[in-house]
Amino acid sequence: MSVTTVQPAADAHASAPARRRLHPRWPLMTPALLVTAIGIIGPFVILVGYSVKLLGDDVSGSRFGFYSEVLGDSFYRGIFWRSIKLSVWLVGATLLFAYPLAVIITRARGWRRTLLLYATITPLLTNIVVRTLGWLVLLSDQGILNSWLGWIDPSLERRFLGTEFGLLLSLVHIALPLMVLPMLTTIESLDPTHREAAMICGAHPVVAWWRVTLPALAPGLIAGCTLVFVLGMSSLITPAMLGRGRMYMVSTLLVRQIGTLNWGRAAAIALLLFAVVLLVVGAMQRLGSSSAAGGRAARSTVPLGRRPIGTLLAYLNRLGPSTRLVRIVRPVFVTGIVAYLLLPLAVVLKSSFDPSTTLRAGWNGFTLDWYREALDPDRYLPSALLSLRLAVLAVLIGLAIAIPASIGIARGDFPGRRAIIAFLMSPLLLPHAALAVGFVLFFLFLGTDPSFQRVLFAHLVVCLPYMVRVLVSALESVDPSLEEAARAAGASPATTLRKVTLPMIKPGIFAAVLFGFLTSFDEATVGVLVAASGTPTLPVKIFSDLQVQYTPVAAAVSGLLIVLVLAVILPLERWVGLMAPRNES
Amino acid sequence: MSAETTAAPATSAAATTAPATTAAGAGAATPAAAEDFLALCPAETAPDSLTIAIWGSHEEAIGEEMAGFTELTGVDIEWHVDGTPDRLVKLNAERGAPTIDLAVLPVNEISTLLDNGVIDPKDDRVPNSDLLVDVAAGVPGGWGTSQIQFAIAYNPDQVTEAPDAWLDLLDPAYAGHVSLSNVPGSGGYAPLAMFARESGGSDADLVPAIEMVGDVVDDIVAFTDQAQATIQMFDTGELWLAPAIAGTMLQYQQDGGNIELAIPATGGPIGMNVGVIPAGNPDADCALALLGWYLGPEVQAKYAETLHYTPVNTAVEIPADLVVFPADQSTAVAIDWAAIQERSDEYADLWARTVGG
């Protein structure tokens, strides 16, 4: 039986609930708003001041001279366009692999699920410079990838470094966990019976997915796309190293202007970048909100046959499901994606046991010397402990702030809701290099001395957007009627939170903790400028050492971090079931 | 971020002959005594700690030798590690209220900092400053703390004759196998200055040199700020020639890297790190004492041993079997860094359009 109309997703799918209209829950959101306001408004105002020549030494010429310089110059415009294009490609390429991977993870059980999950998050566990060096080994002309291609057919060998394809290949590697983790909660929240009902009524699986599943996936999809787009626009080290120094992005321009003390022009570039990212993220947010509320589907009661896509879907409905194809493709996909996720890290880990002092593909022996150096109490250990302390505190404080704020946002539909989300995301949208300069000048203006608290605050400001973004999408994906039922049964708000809400968003909390921890642990740009003297944080230490000479100790540090995180998460996950399927919780 | 780079100071004009950089004169000079340091930093007014801003791994290289200052004065040393751009940003942002007591920077950056009032003018009370070689003592705004030399590193299997001109880096015969350092940064300016000189130009105008790079930009395999990226490319065989800090590449060679180092007939540019005291430092006198300790023979000898820097202190005796750069003073070439720095914005902009457009 062919299906010519499909019920709107809002009616058919309880996992995309209609949002109740509530007044803003300001007490829940105020701490997060306050942290963000202090952390972003001061630096933002300073950047604006420099960009319009109210601050700084260069005050000659037109007030908006820096903006007209940048916008009127085809070179700068070309760099902006290149960054936007790369970021859009990055989102598309990541989505292509992230969605099926997320689905496969949610359907896996036991050790397979654990393996896939950890393979997905391991790119986040390696220092960015060390990880990029691993990609250099893989993608160089005489690298591992070309050696494999040459073994198949010498004509397949090609240049990857210095090309957009090579750059995309490495960026998708780090973007995948940013896309997959927010989607996991959303996918877990889907009620499979709705899609099954559509298929029983004759809808082809693709049609059922398009009409029923996709709108419900919107919160997680949009969250992931937002994080990945921002990653693409702010990416600096990877394009510099893998682009061979010839692929200038907006962040490259920005950092060079900052380094040559042209802060006015740097501020103008940073604010233009902020505006572009804000526009795109805002558009994605609007798209996601409409889809999640079923607004677009609710308006769509037109029979399929009246639109080209409907013709295609109607054709598909007449086809049988290709389960045999799926059975062949799935294991190939899983093997390929796991290899892709783990190969650069395997290069890094191999280097950590290799006695040679450069990253080499071949086997050159075995040593534990680099690990001994990494654990040297006078070398990297103090920095590692400082970074660990900062990350743990940033995550704990961040969770305490982000969870109530996310509840206030996700369970409300008040005027200005989107603006509040955008405001809370704003530290993410402003390039860290510009934010760092703004922070230094802002702290000087406040007259604060360098201190651990100052660094912790800076880390909290950069972590909070990730945590809020992930938690909001997690909350939007779960049915609030369960909370309402608990309240109706007499449970207090605290009991409802503890026994209903938090368990339902466990995967979201896991993702928020992971993102928050790793963002803080790997943060160097802001920290190097606002830090107190004395022990530097670990990424600052590693990056600073690597500028002088390569040392495999950095690879050993990455190896230790991978082991540490897995050693903590593995038993926690198995015990608490952080990422267990909902029906196994 | 630019790699650690240093440069010879501009004196009165661009020098084309080797400056006086001799750093071996054992027994001829007497290092500063303890009293000299304590006179500047007496216990009753000394702070609890002083902060040095410097590149990573220097703390490990000279930490033990610097600990002697703490033993003498009771003042702890805090290390603030970062890259050159971050250090410049921090110094400028904190102008007048510095959190750094002593900063070590490439010499090409010093003139701008002095002109903008970010650092104090030079103070002759620095202990050991009377023992410095002329080129280190002649830096306005600071004291040279170490010397390096730029050379051309090359793969002897692919480049069978050692390059004898800096312009060999732009030779089409090596297309696709050469990397250059980025601009701004003295690692990028050094070869450009030599391109200019070998083409009949001067350090005062690097535009023609940048345009020469533009003519062959597609033949350059990489423009990099980091030594480890260059080493990586040599290791994979992708790179045949690259300008580099000779001491850094010597370490790679000693670790088994298949490279040789060549200083062309026109010479190897000299670089220098310089110690400066940020303006407005309430502990400036103690910072001067710290700088004096940094210039002392123990630290200088350790730099020569670990990073192959030529000591600036004439009281340091270099062991016969230790290679430092410049090893042969006749190959040392002084670059007019002040002239280059005056047009650095123009060069950085032109470079970005040439390379990154």
Q: pLDDT of B158-172, one tens digit each?
A: 999 999 999 999 999
Among B75, B82, B218, most A C-beta atoms within 10 A, so best to mutate, is B82
CB contact (8 A) between residue B55 and residue A248? no
CB contact (8 A) between residue B252 and residue A358? yes
Band of pLDDT at residue A576, cut at 50, 70 and 90: low
Band of pLDDT at residue A360, cut at 50, 70 and 90: low
For residue A19, the tally of other CB atoms under 10 A from its CB is: 17
pLDDT at A111: 81
For residues A463 and A519, the answer to whether their CB atoms sit within 8 Å is yes
Nearest to A546 among B228, B235, B356 (CB): B228
Percent of chain A predicted with pLDDT > 90: 18
The stretch B178-185 carries a mean pLDDT of 91
Among the residue ranges A314-323, A371-380, A400-409, A510-519, the one predicted with the least confidence is A314-323
pLDDT at A13: 37
Query: Residue A549: is its pLDDT beyond 60?
Result: yes
Nearest to B78 among A247, A256, A533 (CB): A533
Q: How does the average pLDDT of chain A come out, rounded?
A: 80
Query: Residue A326: is its pLDDT beyond 80?
Result: no
Sign of torsion, CA B286 B292 B294 B296? Answer: negative
Q: Which residues of chain B neighbour A373 with C-beta distances below 8 Å? A: none
Contacts (Cβ under 8 Å, ≥6 apart) of B295: B126, B127, B128, B129, B131, B132, B143, B145, B275, B312, B313
Q: Which two tokens stand for residue A468?
A: 């809020």
Q: Which two tokens stand for residue B21?
A: 């950089």
Q: Which residues of chain A neighbour B357 with C-beta distances below 8 Å? A: 75, 78-79, 248
Model pLDDT for residues A126-184, shown as the tens digit of each residue: 777 778 878 888 888 878 888 888 888 888 888 888 888 999 999 999 999 989 988 88
Query: Distance (Å, rounded) from C-alpha B293 to C-alpha B128?
Result: 8
Q: Which residues of chain B neighbour A258 with C-beta distances below 8 Å? A: 85, 89
The stretch A196-204 carries a mean pLDDT of 77
Q: Which residues of chain A neighbour B223 with C-beta distances below 8 Å? A: 244-246
Query: Distance (Å, rounded) from C-alpha B70 to C-alpha A74?
Result: 55
Confirm whether the ipTM is greater than 0.90: no
Q: Which residues of chain A neighbour B83 with C-beta distances below 8 Å? A: 543-544, 547
| A156 backbone dihedrals φ, ψ, rounded to 5° | -80, -15
Contacts (Cβ under 8 Å, ≥6 apart) of A576: A506
Query: Residue A308: is its pLDDT beyond 70?
Result: no
pLDDT at B166: 97
Among the residue ranges A190-204, A242-256, A287-301, B117-131, the one predicted with the least confidence is A287-301
CB pairs under 8 A between A and B: 180
Query: Residue A101: is its pLDDT beyond 90?
Result: yes
CB contact (8 A) between residue A529 and residue B100? no
Query: Residue A15: is its pLDDT beyond 50?
Result: no
pLDDT at A290: 66
Band of pLDDT at residue B357, cut at 50, 70 and 90: low
Query: Residue A9: is its pLDDT beyond 90?
Result: no
pLDDT at B216: 95
Query: Distance (Å, rounded) from C-alpha B189 to C-alpha B193?
Result: 6
Q: Which residues of chain A neighbour B89 with C-beta distances below 8 Å? A: 258-259, 261, 436-437, 440, 529
Which value, in Å, is the radius of gyration of the alpha carbons in chain B?
20
More confident residue, A311 or B81: B81
Nearest to A546 among B51, B100, B226 (CB): B226
Angle CA A521–A527–A528, to nearest 5: 125
Model pLDDT for residues B246-255, shown as the tens digit of each residue: 988 888 888 8
Secondary structure element (H or E) that encloses residue A114, with its range? helix A110-121
Among the residue ranges A72-81, A126-135, A500-509, the one predicted with the least confidence is A126-135
CB contact (8 A) between residue A546 and residue B236? no
Band of pLDDT at residue B128, cut at 50, 70 and 90: very high
pLDDT at B138: 84
Percent of chain B predicted with pLDDT > 70: 92
| B14-18, B183-187, B271-275: range with highest mean pLDDT | B271-275
pLDDT at B15: 32
Dihedral Cα A435, A441, A444, A450, nearest 10 deg: 40
The stretch A500-512 carries a mean pLDDT of 86
CB contact (8 A) between residue A547 and residue B222? no
Among A74, A138, A261, A451, most B C-beta atoms within 10 A, so best to mutate, is A261
